[in-house]
Chain A
Amino acid sequence: MSRRFRQWVDAYQDQAWTLARYLLKDASEAEDAVQEAFVKLWHNRDRVDPGKIKPWLMRVTRNQCLDRLRRRKPTEEWADWQKADEGPGPAQGLEQQELAARLKHSINGLKEPYRSLVVLRDVQQHSYEEVASVLELSLSQVKVYLHRARKQLREQLAEVRP
């Protein structure tokens, strides 16, 4: 069983980590949240439908993050975000890196559930059905909210040049 669990770790840890990083913007807290989600997966490994491990894990990770955000003081909200942009990225041009950083910043300016929607659907490329399952929304809600989220992103990315 633990071998299967390690397979789940290998398959889903990056996605859970990315979601937690986007939601919490704090590396150590994101690690804790992902660990708690995987601990829950371990305890519920016999109850979770093997075909739905990924959406189940992403939902639990997101709930862990939201719980932490609720407990957090308002001033802590933007604490760790800049560090995410300082790490080594893929071989991109400077302009693209700047754009990516701005995009990340804009995603983090979104409110829930828009932020999770964009991360799960547009960044991690989950299917609409999986996103609906993770966020416990209907398929039509997912599409409507995603449209609104993208509109907000476009507005935030709109550049004001002197």
Chain B
Amino acid sequence: MTHETRNDISDERLEAMLAELEIEKAPASLTQRLNRIPEEHRRRGWKWPWQWSLAPAPRWAMAPAFAAVPLIVLAVFLFQDRGPSESEVEQARHDLAVAFAYMDRVGLRTGAEIQGVLGAELRQTVKQPLVEHLLVNETSRKEETS
């Protein structure tokens, strides 16, 4: 039994054969599925009004935008023209009165301590040289009279 190998398909013949292979028609079920896509995905892709403005932004723009949010909030908080309320003023007055009263008492006590320490020192400073002077004078007078 002999086998004969035939390998005589030219490029042109092959291309012609391939071109003759028909493009299959998509089944009707697929066409229906494809035509339903806009309706199904529009409904599923519904967004809240605040998402409308964010939706078309590219992803790279979202990170800086989100990072800027706390900065904006902080800036608004710091720079807003906001006067103190009445209760806040009253509280501040009370705190200030307490602080002054404390400072007054501390001042008096410190003054008394300074007076006590410096008074003794000053007395000693004046008394010591005077006593020494008097003692010297008394000694010299005794020597002169003797």
Contacts and interface: CB of A to CB of B under 8 A. Distances in A.
B134 interface: no
A138 to B, nearest CB: 22
Contacts of A66: none
B26 interface: yes
A16 B27 CA distance: 12
Contacts of A39: 37, 41
Contacts of B6: 158-161
Interface residues of B, number: 34
B88 interface: no
A123 B19 contact: yes
Interface in B5-49: 5-7, 9, 11, 14-15, 17-27, 29-31, 33-35, 37-39, 41-42, 45
A123 B18 contact: yes
Contacts, number: 99
B48 to A, nearest CB: 18
Given A35-B37, A43-B41, A161-B3, A122 B15 contact: yes
Majority secondary structure, A binding face: helix
B24 A18 contact: yes
Given A5-B38, A90-B22, A103 B17 contact: yes
Contact of B7 (A16, A89, A154): A154
Interface of B: 1, 3-7, 9, 11, 14-15, 17-27, 29-31, 33-35, 37-39, 41-42, 45, 56
